[in-house]
């Protein structure tokens, strides 16, 4: 490893020329044999040449739809609209250095996965003649795990082989040689068959479930929308102080609870409300803006207080909003609460998948991968430090563009925003994403979940002491930061070396001005002048790619594999929203049927469960954070010692997490039927383990 200024003279020209070759000239279509990194907008998600209905907005490069950049492929442009690239499935290019290794290819081959998902759809379509058909009963849902779907006899052996490659654990061969698509029972369901009905579990998962990144402290009262009242209706929330104060045992007023930091919220109101009318024009889906309030009990757990659902002004229909509480005094309100919870859960998993998972990890890291390869030589110490965190990300993202986030892809087929899914992700990038808030401490402070406290562990005092994601995450954050600090200080003993490092400065400039060019003028981008600046930047990137991604990815099947717990779509409006007499009577007479009809259809549910199973699976060749030393690090005694300290700390963290999960006083991670919180345990074997922090976004 050499800094640019320290490179032997005989290597300097070679070093410069290699970077020039890696950047390419921005022209021509890339081939699989190429090793060229360049930027482009997301102009290949739609497919207007096949069907004009598959046209989608180009994301990136406009004020209306700002977005991070992806790796340029250079495919020919659409005949229908030249602003789009054609979607030739054989040309989802990634530079050859980024391609999956053979062992990973077997587990998640791009062609196999794409064909496998299509085969699943075809198989289910054969079984289920009505693609909108829901489940008739909860017993029918249970059969997915006990008996499974019998795959059609017309399914040829080649397609069956594909399915077995993609989802080997799900395809069972019964004794009578009938091929079955049968799902593993998710961990949460194994421990408690009725976990999904529990309000306590609903609240606990906001701190220790698949999406622990959205819960925030309520700081102001009354709650008000910031949207234009002339367009969307009254900004005042329907949640009154009387509703809250009747449920906050031991406190008198809302103001007192807010002052004591006891009131928390899932807020999907202002982000979703502008899309309600658009989404409602689509078939078999609906949407509200929503707020859900929680109260922090003396046991350190959250108690749901109230859900507010809002429909804005739509045409000649006035704004509609209603609140629902778990403190139901009769069966009708109890069922309304369950239905309201279903809508909020759909909102939560949509935000989780489109924003906290895809946008905040996969999508925003892609420009870092490109810039690192274009501006930092492979000899550069910072390249060596970043490289493990960037492994496989371009390949997995290209696969996502092919089958998950594209027009009529899995996300559009199964999540409530449907064709507006990626557009909504762009809005979130525009309004919510800041690089300086992506590191864990700043993220927690921004959401009101922590405040700086020099006397507290990690320098932060948590608003909820038993917050498993934050508690374990801060252990990982500090370990990464210490390792990065030791590494950076070795190669950069003074700020002047950082400022004079042309490759490093070009890298950081390109990240902002090309990779995230739609936000290049934002004032919150960190400067890169000192060792601390560099440590903070690298630690944030490493955190996003490793622990943040692990926390949002590897619990998906454990909690979403039983879809009533995390339905990706709510298909029907609440029974109280402008009901006809017949609709209301149907709800009163058969409330369970109303709930089942609101859930995803059979095809939607089984397709999501299949995808979540794949995404929650660790590859046999996974590289875990701090597990194995890079050869170049082992050659330097100082770096070797620093890495060994890093590795030792991660092993200690495993033991700390085990002891926390065994502590019966920590109610959010220990108790009857509760899945222990192991997502931040650094190491894992292959399979669906619910633990393990890979270096990179590799699945």
* Residues tagged active-site: 357, 362, 549, 553, 699
Q: Look at residues 189, 691, 218, 195 and name the one whose alpha carbon lies nearest to residue 472.
A: 691
Sheet holding 149-150, edge to edge: 149-150, 179-181, 171-173
CA–CA separation, 245 and 247 (whole Å):
5
User: Are 44 and 84 a contacting pair, CB within 8 Å?
Assistant: yes
CA–CA separation, 636 and 659 (whole Å):
35
Q: Which residues pair with 217 in a beta bridge?
A: 264
Q: Look at residues 303, 304, 300, 302 and name the one whose alpha carbon lies nearest to residue 292.
A: 304
Per-residue tokens: 23: 């950047």
Q: Look at residues 363, 368, 398 and name the one whose alpha carbon lies nearest to residue 382.
A: 368
CA–CA separation, 613 and 562 (whole Å):
11
Cβ within 8 Å of residue 393, ≥6 positions away: 98, 362, 365, 366, 369, 545, 696, 697, 698
CA–CA separation, 421 and 603 (whole Å):
19
Q: What is the largest CA-CA distance in the chain?
A: 85
Q: Look at residues 444, 464, 420 and name the one whose alpha carbon lies nearest to residue 669.
A: 464
Place of tokens 């800094």: 3
CA–CA separation, 72 and 65 (whole Å):
18
User: Are 86 and 75 a contacting pair, CB within 8 Å?
Assistant: yes
Rounded (10°) CA dihedral 354, 360, 362, 367: 130
Neighbours of 285 (CB within 10 A): 20
């Amino acid at each position: 490893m050499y800094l640019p200024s320290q490179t032997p003279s005989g290597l300097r020209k070679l070093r410069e020329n290699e970077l020039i070759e890696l950047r390419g000239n921005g022209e021509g279509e890339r081939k699989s044999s190429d090793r060229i990194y360049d930027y482009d907008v997301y102009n290949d998600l739609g497919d207007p040449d096949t069907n004009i209905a598959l046209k989608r907005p180009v994301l990136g490069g406009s004020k209306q739809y700002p977005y991070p950049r992806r790796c340029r492929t250079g495919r020919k442009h659409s005949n229908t609209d030249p602003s789009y690239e054609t979607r030739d499935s054989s040309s989802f290019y990634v530079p050859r250095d980024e391609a999956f290794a053979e062992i990973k290819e077997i587990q998640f081959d791009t062609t196999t996965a794409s064909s496998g998902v299509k085969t699943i759809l075809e198989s289910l379509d054969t079984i289920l003649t009505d693609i909108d058909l829901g489940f008739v009963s909860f017993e029918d849902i249970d059969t997915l795990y006990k008996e499974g779907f019998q795959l059609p006899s017309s399914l040829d052996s080649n397609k069956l082989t594909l399915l077995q490659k993609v989802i080997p654990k799900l395809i069972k061969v019964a004794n009578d040689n009938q091929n079955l698509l049968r799902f593993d029972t998710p961990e949460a369901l194994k421990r408690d068959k009725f976990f999904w009905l529990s309000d306590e579990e609903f609240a606990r998962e906001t701190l220790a479930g698949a999406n622990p990144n959205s819960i925030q402290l309520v700081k102001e009262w009354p709650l008000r929308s910031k949207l234009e009242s002339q367009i969307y209706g009254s900004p005042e929330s329907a949640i009154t102080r009387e509703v809250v104060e009747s449920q906050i045992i031991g406190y008198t007023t809302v103001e007192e609870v807010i002052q004591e930091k006891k009131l928390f919220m899932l807020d999907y109101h202002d982000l979703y409300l502008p899309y309600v009318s658009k989404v409602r024009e689509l078939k078999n889906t609906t949407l509200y803006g929503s707020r859900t309030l929680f109260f922090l009990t003396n046991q350190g757990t959250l108690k749901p207080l109230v859900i507010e659902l809002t429909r804005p002004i739509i045409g000649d229909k006035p704004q509609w909003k209603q609140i629902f509480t778990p403190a139901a005094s009769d069966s009708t309100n109890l069922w309304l609460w369950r239905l309201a919870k279903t809508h909020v859960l759909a909102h939560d998993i949509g935000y989780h998948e489109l924003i906290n998972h895809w946008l905040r990890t996969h999508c925003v890291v892609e420009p870092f991968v490109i810039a690192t390869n274009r501006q930092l030589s492979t000899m550069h110490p910072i390249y060596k430090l970043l490289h493990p965190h960037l492994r496989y990300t371009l390949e997995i993202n290209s696969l996502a563009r092919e089958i998950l986030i594209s027009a009529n892809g899995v996300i559009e087929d199964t999540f409530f925003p449907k064709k507006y899914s990626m557009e909504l992700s762009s809005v979130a990038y525009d309004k919510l994403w800041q690089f300086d808030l992506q590191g864990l401490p700043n993220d927690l402070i921004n959401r009101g979940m922590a405040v700086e406290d020099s006397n507290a562990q990690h320098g932060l005092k948590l608003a909820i002491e038993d917050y498993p994601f934050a508690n374990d995450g801060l252990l990982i954050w500090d370990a990464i930061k210490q390792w990065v600090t030791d590494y950076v200080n070795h190669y950069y003993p003074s700020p002047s070396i950082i400022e004079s490092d042309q490759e490093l400065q070009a890298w950081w400039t390109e990240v902002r001005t090309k990779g995230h060019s739609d936000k290049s003028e934002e004032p919150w981008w960190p400067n890169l002048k000192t060792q601390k600046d560099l440590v903070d930047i690298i630690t944030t990137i490493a955190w996003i790619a490793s622990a943040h991604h692990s926390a949002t990815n590897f619990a998906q099947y454990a909690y979403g594999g039983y879809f009533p717990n995390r339905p990706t779509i709510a298909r029907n409006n609440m029974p109280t929203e402008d009901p006809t007499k017949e609709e209301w009577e149907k709800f009163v007479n058969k409330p369970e049927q109303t709930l089942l009809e609101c859930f995803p259809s059979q095809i939607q549910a089984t397709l999501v469960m299949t995808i979540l199973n794949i995404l929650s699976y660790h590859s046999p060749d996974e590289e875990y954070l701090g597990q194995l030393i890079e050869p170049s690090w082992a050659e330097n005694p100082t770096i070797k010692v620093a890495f060994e300290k890093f590795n030792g700390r991660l092993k200690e963290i495993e033991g700390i997490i085990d002891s926390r999960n065994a502590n019966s006083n920590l109610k959010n991670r220990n108790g009857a039927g509760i899945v222990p919180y192991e997502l931040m345990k650094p190491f894992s074997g292959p399979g669906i383990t619910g633990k393990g922090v890979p270096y990179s976004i590799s699945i």
